[in-house]
Chains A and B, each alone.
Chain A
Amino acid sequence: MVPRISPVIQIIPPVTQKTVAGGSSAGNERDFLVCSESTTANTTNQTSIELPYEYKAAAAIGRGITGQRSYPVSPETNPEYWNWNKKIFELAKKEGLDPYDVVYWVCKRDQLLQAAARGGFPVNVSHWRNGMEFYELHIGHEFNVSRIYEMIINNDPSHAYLLEGNALVDQKLVMSHCMGHSDFFKNNIHFRFTNRSMLNRIAEHASYQRNVMDSEGISFLEMEQFLEKAYSIDDLIDYSNLEPRQLKYELHQNRPIAKVPDDYGIIDASELPSHMQGRINNPERLREERDAEKERLDREAQKIPKYPDYDVMGFIIENSKVLKLWQRQVLMHAREQAYYLAPQGLTKIMNEGWAVYWHRRLMSHPEIVDLRDASAFADHNAGTLAMSGGRLNPYKVGYEIFMDIEERWNTGRHGRQWEEIEDERERRDYDDKSMKGFEQIFEVRKWEKDMTFIDKYLTPEVAKKLKLFTWEQEGENYILASREFEKVKAKFVEQLFMGTGIAVRDGNYDNKGELLLHHDFRFDLKQDYALATMKNLLSMWGNTIHLNTKLYWASDDENPTPVRIIAENITLADSGKAKAGIKITIRRALEEVNKETGLIDYTPTNVLYETMEEVKS
């Protein structure tokens, strides 16, 4: 008999437990479905081989996949792939990689795309955004526009997908590629805080969503709309500190109340004689205690971030006065997923470059590919490394730089000694036979992220080989601005800076509980999106939002204008009836350095733009 599988980390909010205890219809349905967890185990009973625990967990959690007749590669289900997997894994270890175990799932195209549309996870929070992604991927596949080569989840063990019906050489390519990714996940310093059982965790997010809708009576539409708000701010996290800070807000904690309760400090002495009551509940003592408590509550209410807080999402979760319990929880889930994905965004070029480097290395090994398959492999590899015009291909850029590092460190063409050589030819042919290249790329893989990777290791020769250039907007057109190495590199590094640069400056602005955000200007915000996001923030914060930013107010402006965007709740008087409304104001602002803090402050002045609209419930 197979025991019920419980998720690895069980953080179940009180509401969920209530559901289970109450035995609602959803609970029953879930119980029935959980029967499927043993699908893999059942087959193994026949052969008396017990599959690893991770399989079962994945089978239960990823039943979206198992149910649709996809299966994990194991000696029973697919001995051929299993053997290749084993061989490639051994070879990768022998060559020096240190990857997680990888569980491969063989699935059909649509299942692969469905998982891809959910960030690689077969089960994720339900939202139409997933449908949109799926639709786009599906059309792309249908018309040969885009094709998913590989997909792997940063998890221990990593889970990767193989497309059913692909040729064996493709599957081997994917397996080799995944070795690189898995090694990168495990060893790169920026991944050290990611949750390695995210597969389970995200399934919990999804089941929380289902259960809370039942137990709290939240309509589908309400949940959907709130998720849109959550997604609209899920890039407002702190990319410079990838360890998400522990939020002070906890589920069981009662909301702080700004008002001192009436019976504060009063000791129940009703059983004592009346003359004793006056002494015990001395009015003077009571007043003192109440004053002290009031002061404490006021201080708490006035709490502001000590330093600019780039984790706007976390700040809102902690300090918002209007979020309901489930909304807070959904926001926390969105934040968790954003922090989980952040290192993958920060190391996209390196990660892909490393994986390409390794699939080429492993696939050129005679044990893995025989000559008959070599041309097929070359085709697919060329597809991965193709320079599609205009866009940056992270596979190509990363791969070329890794190759360059290896070569330069092999020949000693780096460091001061080499740079001081003046003769052009001597520089080019310099070779001290130090052969440190292989060590060096492992160092790079361990410590760098894309920004530092490009900054330190992009050379003029590689930039030329990759045909890199900078572009600029000139009037109506985009023009190719320069191919000068210094400019290209500077722009490239700047472009790799993740995040919007929006931080909370003050959580109690003007002592009214308003929220002041500040945008460290690198680029101007898209205006209609920015205003819509301000509205979302307003509904989540519940009080006025201020945002300092810069806009190109007139389309032909050379320099951006500093402005303060303000979104506030107002009451509209419409033919005698009061209606809830939102007012959005854009004010010109004066930019000056605050001498006390050393930060740039904006002082709003005249109104540039004003709009009011009714809130439709």
Chain B
Amino acid sequence: MRIGVTDKTPIVKPPLKVVTPPPLATQGDLLGTLENAQESKTTPLATPHFFSPRLLMQSLLFNSIADPDLQRYQDILKGKVREDLKKFKTPGEMFGVKGGKIVSIPVPKIGIPHFTRGSGKGGGTAQGDGEEGDVLGEPGDAKPGKGAGSEPGEHIQEIYVPMTLSEIAETIIKDRKLPYLKPKGYGAAKEKSIKWNTKSKVGIDLDINATIINAIKRVGAEIGDKFDLETDEGLNALLDQVAIEEQDKVFISWREIEKPQVSVAIIYKMDVSGSVTDEMKEKVRKAARWLSIIIQYQFGLVRAELRGDKFSNEHFGEGVEEVFIIHDSSAKEVTEEEFYTTRENGGTQISSAYELEEKIINERYDPDTWNIYSFYFGDGDNWGDDTPHSIDLMKRLAERVNEVGYVQVESHYGSGDFYDYVKEFASEQGHVRAVKITAEGTEDLDKVIDEMLGDKGDKKD
């Protein structure tokens, strides 16, 4: 497209005051820029062609700074600080589209109280379709001014954006510690791994920050005396002299390191026999899930600490192996999914689960190199003759593993007496723990976690 030469409108003033050179104002000039604008479809010169070290350093410096206000807000949301703001927290919600589906995104907000409109009494105006007398929406979520049609009618799938598993674990169980954990396998097994933590004079990835600092050091040593480095002017003048030379360059390099290893096996056993109602199964599954999350998080922490790393989400659950066993009158090993979903009807022999567990430990998890945690969930009903055998097996197990846990769920009609046997035997040893919970509600899940993972003194072998 060309602009006709007949266009005689003079340019009054350039849009921004550029001092030199004045891009005023001839027709040819305008024409030239127009043609350029059409032709210059190339990538705009986003960064100046000359990299001042100072500019670069600044940009590196600021890029690494996260938004402190956002950080603070997230801390408040998680309840780490400012308990007093809790009452003004509202569970906000947004509807968005992801993968072709409408999803509900929780956007919790904290209101700052001010004098504002309370009820919808008095009415207002809005825009949209509808007949007189139509109902516009739920009063609960409808703010004045919000009306019909703002709620999508399609199926809404809930997604949780704000928290990862380890964040949840962190909020709930900060103070709890994994009991009796030992750095087993410390000397024997070491993983080999590559870590990008070394500087080198040759390489591919230039460490720009270190390079610039080197250059500044070198130039400062050479000509630093000529400048007054106490003042900004002096410093600026010096920095203007800095240019990177070959000798300043520093590259990032890798080194092979050996990581000390520590591993955990968690063995969950559950009674799925007919006497355990669905409600009770739900409850023990919840308890098992929480224990699993907490152990994985705590173990991640321990492992990170042992290796001198900083804990991150990647450490969550690393090095933890989980074994799931369900039993009625016979036991079998299942996957995690099956463990949380299977129902069976049959008699109950607790010993079957412990037998299978012993077998698995013998085959796969040598107690010398593995930290083993064994949990049992059930209603405490057992086949009469089986109880002494089961207790024997438990005792044998207790000598080999870090902790033995027993969780018994009670329904309205009471529960079995296996708990009493375990309790009797548990009182002798701190690392054998038993707890009784009710099937209803979720309040006593805390009790399970406290009992199973609380500090009860050293393990008495």
Q: Which residues of A contact B (CB under 8 A)?
A: 1-2, 4, 31, 34-36, 38-39, 42-43, 46, 48-52, 54, 63-64, 66-69, 71, 74-81, 83-87, 89-90, 93-94, 101-103, 106, 114, 117, 126-132, 134-136, 139-140, 142-145, 157, 164, 224, 228, 231-236, 366-367, 370, 387-393, 396-397, 466-473, 476-483, 488, 491-492, 495, 500, 502, 519, 522-530, 532-533, 536, 551-552, 560, 616
Contacts and interface: CB of A to CB of B under 8 A. Distances in A.
Interface string B101-144: 00101010111111111111111111111111111111100100
Contacts of B114: 231-235, 529, 533
B44 A31 contact: no
20 contacts: A35-B232, A43-B50, A68-B62, A86-B33, A90-B11, A127-B69, A128-B76, A129-B73, A129-B112, A142-B96, A387-B127, A390-B145, A391-B150, A467-B128, A470-B125, A478-B137, A480-B131, A519-B115, A532-B113, A536-B113
Nearest to B83: A616
B18 A49 contact: yes
B165 interface: no
Nearest to A559: B121
A172 B360 CA distance: 69
B128 A78 contact: no
A482 B19 CA distance: 60
B194 interface: no
Nearest to A45: B240
Given A87-B37, A101-B15, A143-B103, 19 more contacts: A35-B232, A42-B55, A80-B44, A81-B44, A87-B34, A90-B15, A94-B9, A106-B46, A135-B70, A136-B92, A231-B114, A232-B112, A232-B114, A396-B127, A473-B119, A478-B120, A480-B130, A500-B115, A525-B115
A235 B112 CA distance: 12
B97 interface: yes
A39 B55 contact: yes
Contact of A488 (B15, B97, B105, B125): B125
A480 B11 contact: no
A479 B135 contact: yes
Contacts of B118: 523-527, 529-530, 551-552
Given A102-B15, A139-B105, A143-B96, A391 B146 contact: yes
Contacts of A235: 114-115
B115 A482 contact: no
Nearest to A616: B84
A131 B20 CA distance: 41
Pick from B17, B92, B232 the residue with the most CB of A within 10 Å: B232
Contact of B48 (A43, A480, A560): A43
B208 to A, nearest CB: 13
Contacts of A69: 47, 59, 63
B123 A68 contact: no
Interface residues of B, number: 101
B122 to A, nearest CB: 5
Contacts of B15: 85-86, 89-90, 101-102
B149 A390 contact: yes
A67 to B, nearest CB: 3
Contacts of A370: 1
B119 A552 contact: yes
A471 B147 contact: yes
- Complex A-B, nearest 3 residue pairs according to Cβ-Cβ distance, in ascending order: A389-B149, A143-B96, A67-B62
Contacts of A532: 88, 113
B23 interface: yes
Given A389-B147, A390-B147, A391-B145, A471 B136 contact: yes
B132 A483 contact: yes
B92 to A, nearest CB: 8
A114 B45 CA distance: 24
Nearest to B87: A528
B60 to A, nearest CB: 9
A468 B145 CA distance: 11
A388 B150 contact: yes
B95 interface: yes
A83 B128 contact: no
B16 A479 contact: no
Given A228-B112, A552-B119, A552-B121, A93 B12 contact: yes
A84 B15 CA distance: 11
A128 B129 CA distance: 39
Contacts of A71: 46-47
A524 B58 contact: no
A479 B48 contact: no
A76 B232 contact: no
Given A136-B109, A491-B124, A536-B113, A1 B148 contact: no
Given A143-B98, A232-B112, A525-B117, A35 B54 contact: yes
A93 B122 CA distance: 45
A161 to B, nearest CB: 15
A533 B118 CA distance: 14
B27 interface: no
A75 B18 contact: yes
B125 A390 contact: no
Contact of A84 (B37, B71, B147): B37
B116 A80 contact: no
